[in-house]
A and B are shown apart, each in its own frame.
Chain A
Amino acid sequence: MQQFISKGKNIEEAINLGLKIMDAKKKEINIEIMQMESKGFIGIGKKPAVVKLSLNQHHNHLQEGYSSESQNYSIEKVIEHTEINENLDVRERSEASLKQVELEGKVWVENGQLFVRDSSRRYPTVTISEGITLFKDNVRVKEKSTILAEKDQIDLLVEEVANKKTDWTVNLEDQGLSAILKVNPGYDIKRQIKDIEPAEHIELTFDETKEVVNTLSEEDVVQQLKLLRINYGIDYNEIVEATKTIEPNTFIIAKGLKPHPGVNGWVEFLVEINPKNGLVEDENGKVDFRESKSIPTVEKGEIIAKIHPPKPGIPGVAVTNEPLPAQQTFPIKTTTGKGIIEVDDQLVATESGRPSIEQRGQLVKATIVPKLVHRDNVNLSSGNIRFHGDVEILGEVDDNMLVDADGDIFVHKSTSYANLTTSKSILVKGNVISSELAAGKSNMLMVELGHLLGIMHHQIEKMMVFIKQLIQSPAFKSNDFSVSGLQPLITILLEKRFKGFTTHAKKYIEVVNHGEKYLSDEWCQIAIELKQIFLTLSNHITSVDRLKHLSIKMQELSDFAQLPVEPNAYITISESNNSSLYCSGDINIIGKGCINTKVHAGGHLNVKGVVRGGEVYGRLGVTINEVGSNSGTKTIVSVPDDQMIHINKALEGTILKIGNAKYSINKEKTHVIAKLNDSEDIFLSNI
């Protein structure tokens, strides 16, 4: 008998039974377990153990045909197990068998390997996740799920992902003051099939481990530094740190030496030069009119100021070992006016009077302003006062009289129907009635003229470009320039291309003529040039050079006008009525306030008292104690769109204007700040 299938309560019994029948010894046969015994539950599902015994000369694989039919497979392990355990006690052996039974029909993953156990009842199944390929007998399984059997040769392949390389760059920053190494370490991604406990259905997934690998080496960096010619202030510690980093990071691997800034030239004043702001309040808000004479004076021969030369900076070193120049320093440029001479970098007064210093950037203009003290009223008997310097009037300024000064005007009593003009400040202790006050006139003029010059300068530059273009045109002859200059050409250009230019030039000349006495020579010089070249078309031959020269001068002055003046002009009065106040700087009304007065302040407007009627404007903001009138007289308070209005008490009917927005106060309000909100509307908030 070649083969015999035997049944028994357990495998042992089945084998023994079979051996008896076959009359063979255990050595002579191969044993194949076809079914493990199953105890079942209270007799239900109880199954006998089934073994197939075959004589030794036959190999297992010969029986494969049979085996596959029955869907039962031999498991050598089990056989061995059975053999080894031959002498072990029955109980232990049955436990091992039990384990085998549990695995039947299941599939699992252990150490990345897939194991399958067959069962007679069902095929184990797997779901293949993305990134994993399953080969069954070297054929790729394309479906997402498949059934498996023990006989299949199963291979698993995990899709590899590209590893990221380490990125790094070296950049020069800060004008070569530092070399920055940016490192973004790369990483390797390793995927491994996850171990899965035996189950009838499993899903194949993988674990992904990301390992940061910084491949940057010190040598790489040093090489790159050489390439970039960086050889100063290299920090090798930082380079080593960079090669170790596991996170994207930046390292300063070389540092240059910062240039040490120098100091511009400066003026040291040895005497008091700023007149105290005339009438000043004390802590109690009271104004002591006796304390207003704080205008400084100097005697003949007194040294006013020392001019210090600029100190050059110390140049630095770039990481490429190139010198980094320190910022250029500029000396003080002085213009000495009347009564001042410059000796050995010192400003010395040659006359007695008030030192007047005007500083714009590095430009310093110094003069001694003489002072006129008028001990009486200004009236018909004294005549109008025009003075090149400060004017102090101890009396009143009477009807229709005029005071025109280059320096400060100080009126001890009141002014009525009068006209006060100066390029500096105005101080009036008494009432200002129906008068016109203008302070900082030259500033105002300069700002206006500077603006015009800016426009014209731009146009002249353009004009010169056109002229150049024309000269280069093949059909253009420029030989008449030597005879008649640029005049004919300018006429044509003004006709159309630069039509607006004449208007600007005329306006400029008009403003200069008006304010000639407040302006220095260079402004008037430009007016004359403009007239000659562009307006009268005189016989002066205009060359391209002349135009160039004019353009340069225009630019200088236009730049100059844009510099803020210090100290600024101001108007300080106690109260005003039906007047007009015009000042390039701050206006302070420190008494009862202003009634029906038009106020224009280039700086801040500050009213301690009331504003009743009229229109007030503060370029840098307005602060008013009380505004508006019960009788309904129109009162307008305005500021530009970037400024605020502070009001302690605003009566009904007051109109607030900020930029182009308008707001009418319809109910009395106290302690408010008005400003523009984001949607360009006026917005009131309480203080």
Chain B
Amino acid sequence: MLKYECFEKSSLLEVTLIGDLDIDGTKIINEKLIPQLMKSKKINVNFEQVPFVDSSGVGLLINLVKTIRENDGNITISNISQDIHDVFEILQITEILGKETFIES
């Protein structure tokens, strides 16, 4: 089951996802995380503790990023494992969200 931790330093809100980003995380992301993030203008999602994703999870992520951007928020993603990166490559997530979304740390 997906969990997340928020940590604010200066103007940046660091969200660390813990657990698999999959279909079971639908509720927590759509109903809890997104409303919470709407208040922040600068967000980074840390993938360090996400070992697996599934297609629903990726869909959730795309939806999340798009929703924040519609709200004029600035969002980046960091610490993606190589395996997940491979999945993102196949799905061309980098092209969908833009290369600048993915940062080193």
Query: Which residues does A use to contact B, with CB under 8 Å?
Result: 466, 469-470, 473-481, 483-484, 486, 488-489, 491-493, 495-497
**Alpha-carbon gap, A481 to B95, bound state (A):** 24
Chain A residues, CB < 8 A from B83: 473-475
**Chain A residues whose CB sits within 8 angstroms of the CB of B86 once the complex forms:** 473-475
Residues of A within 8 A of B56 (CB): 480, 483-484, 488
Residue of A nearest to B50 (CB): A475
Which residue of chain B has its CB nearest to the CB of A492? B91
| Additional 4 contacts, C-beta under 8 A, given A470-B90, A477-B22, A492-B59 | A470-B55, A475-B83, A480-B54, A495-B92
Q: Chain B's interface: helix, strand, loop or mixed, by majority?
A: helix
A495 and B96 in contact, given A469-B90, A473-B83, A473-B87 (Cβ under 8 angstroms):
yes
| Shortest Cβ distance from residue A370 to the other chain B in the assembled complex, whole angstroms | 52
Interface pair A475/B92, CB less than 8 Å apart: no
Is B15 an interface position by the 8 A CB rule?
Answer: no
Which residues from 55 to 100 on chain B have a C-beta closer than 8 Å to any C-beta of chain A?
55-59, 62, 81, 83-84, 86-87, 90-93, 95-96
CB distance from A37 to the nearest CB of B (A): 111
Interface centre among B20, B55, B81, B90 (most CB of A within 10 A): B55
Q: Is the CB of B53 within 8 A of A480?
A: no
Q: Find A497's partner among B52, B55, B59, B92 (CB 8 Å cutoff).
A: B92
Q: Are B90 and A479 in contact (CB under 8 A)?
A: no
The minimal Cβ–Cβ distance linking A281 to chain B, given in whole angstroms, is 62
**Chain A CB within 8 A of B23 CB:** yes
| Interface-centre pick from A466, A473, A475, A476 (highest chain B CB count, 10 A) | A475
28 A-B contacts, Cβ less than 8 Å apart? A469-B90, A470-B87, A473-B83, A473-B86, A473-B90, A474-B86, A475-B52, A475-B87, A477-B20, A477-B52, A479-B54, A480-B54, A480-B55, A480-B57, A481-B55, A484-B23, A484-B56, A486-B55, A488-B23, A488-B55, A489-B55, A491-B59, A492-B59, A493-B91, A495-B62, A496-B91, A496-B95, A497-B92
Q: Which residues of A contact B52 (CB under 8 A)?
A: 475-477
Asked if B54 and A497 sit within 8 Å, CB to CB, the answer is: no
Assess the A497–B91 pair: CB atoms within 8 A: yes
B51 at the interface (CB under 8 A from A): yes
- Tell me the minimal C-beta distance from A19 to chain B in angstroms: 120
In the complex, the chain A residue whose C-beta lies closest to that of B91 is A492
Tell me, in angstroms, the Cα distance from A495 to B96 when the chains sit together.
Answer: 7
Cα A473 to Cα B53 in complex, Å, equals 10
- Give residues in B with beta carbon < 8 Å to A: 20, 22-23, 51-59, 62, 81, 83-84, 86-87, 90-93, 95-96
- Known A470-B87, A484-B23; judge A476-B92 contact (CB<8 A): no
Contacts of A474 in B (CB 8 A): 83, 86
Residue numbers in B under 8 Å from A483 (CB-CB):
23, 56
Q: How far is the CB of B20 from chain A (nearest CB, A)?
A: 6
Cβ contact within 8 Å between B90 and A466:
yes
In contact, A476 and B54 (Cβ under 8 angstroms): yes
Residues of B within 8 A of A492 (CB): 55, 58-59, 62, 91, 93, 96
A475 touches B53 (CB 8 A): yes
Closest residue to B20 on the A side, CB-wise? A477
Top 9 nearest A-B pairs (CB, nearest first) are: A475-B83, A489-B55, A480-B23, A477-B54, A488-B59, A496-B92, A488-B55, A488-B56, A475-B84
Closest residue of B by beta carbon distance from A465: B90
Measured between beta carbons, the chain A residues less than 8 angstroms from B81 are: 475
In the assembled complex, the Cα of A466 lies from the Cα of B91 at a distance in Å of: 8
CA distance A469 to B57 in the complex (A): 17
Contacts of A473 in B (CB 8 A): 83, 86-87, 90
Q: What is the CA–CA distance of A493 and B51 in the complex, to the nearest angstrom?
A: 22
CA distance A466 to B57 in the complex (A): 17
Establish whether residues B58 and A488, one from each chain, have CB atoms under 8 Å apart when the complex forms: yes
* A470 contacts B91, C-beta separation under 8 Å: yes
Chain A contacts for B95, CB-based, 8 A: 496
Cβ of A208 to closest chain B Cβ, rounded Å? 70
Alpha-carbon distance A489/B54, docked complex (angstroms): 9
Of all chain B residues, the one with the shortest Cβ separation from A473 is: B87
A-chain residues with CB within 8 Å of residue B54 when the two chains form the complex: 476-480, 488
CB distance from A372 to the nearest CB of B (A): 55
Which residue of B has the minimal Cβ distance to A477?
Answer: B54
Distance (whole angstroms) from the CB of B24 to the closest CB of chain A: 8
Would A476 and B53 count as touching, CB distance under 8 A? yes
Closest to B89 in A: A473
**B57 proximity list for chain A (CB < 8 A):** 477, 480
The CA of A488 and the CA of B90, in the complex, are separated in Å by 15
- B28: min CB distance to chain A, Å: 15
Q: Which residues from B are CB-within-8-Å of A486?
A: 55
A94 to B87, CA, bound (A): 114
Q: For the complex, what is the distance from the CA of A411 to the CA of B62, rounded to whole Å?
A: 61
Give the distance in Å from the alpha carbon of A488 to the alpha carbon of B53 in the complex: 12
B88 nearest CB across to chain A (Å): 9
Q: How far is the CA of A473 from the CA of B85 in the complex (A)?
A: 10
Cβ-closest chain B residue relative to A478: B54
Q: Which A residues are CB-close (under 8 A) to B92?
A: 495-497
Distance, CA A478 to CA B52, complexed state (A): 10
Compute how far the CA of A470 lies from the CA of B93 in the bound complex, rounded to whole angstroms.
13
Q: Which residue of B lies closest to A466 (CB)?
A: B90
CA distance A479 to B95 in the complex (A): 25
Asked if B96 and A496 make an inter-chain contact with CB atoms under 8 angstroms apart, the answer reads yes
Docked complex Cα distance between A289 and B55 (Å): 68
Q: Which interface residue of A469, A480, A492 has the most chain B CB atoms within 10 A?
A: A492
B84 nearest CB neighbor, chain A only: A475
**CB proximity of B4 to chain A, nearest CB, Å:** 18
Nearest chain B CB to A69 CB, angstrom units? 102
Instruction: Return chain B residues, CB-CB under 8 Å to A495.
Output: 62, 92, 96
Q: Is B58's CB under 8 angstroms from A477's CB?
A: no
Complex Cα gap A478–B87 (Å): 12
Which of B23, B62, B87, B93 interacts with A476 by CB under 8 Å? B87
A-chain residues with CB within 8 Å of residue B96 when the two chains form the complex: 492, 495-496
Instruction: Give Cα distance in the complex from A477 to B90, angstroms.
Output: 14
Q: How far is the CA of A168 from the CA of B21 in the complex (A)?
A: 69
Q: Are A480 and B62 in contact (CB under 8 A)?
A: no
Q: Is the CB of A475 within 8 A of B51?
A: yes
A536 → chain B closest CB, angstroms: 16
Write the chain B residue with the least CB distance to A491.
Answer: B59
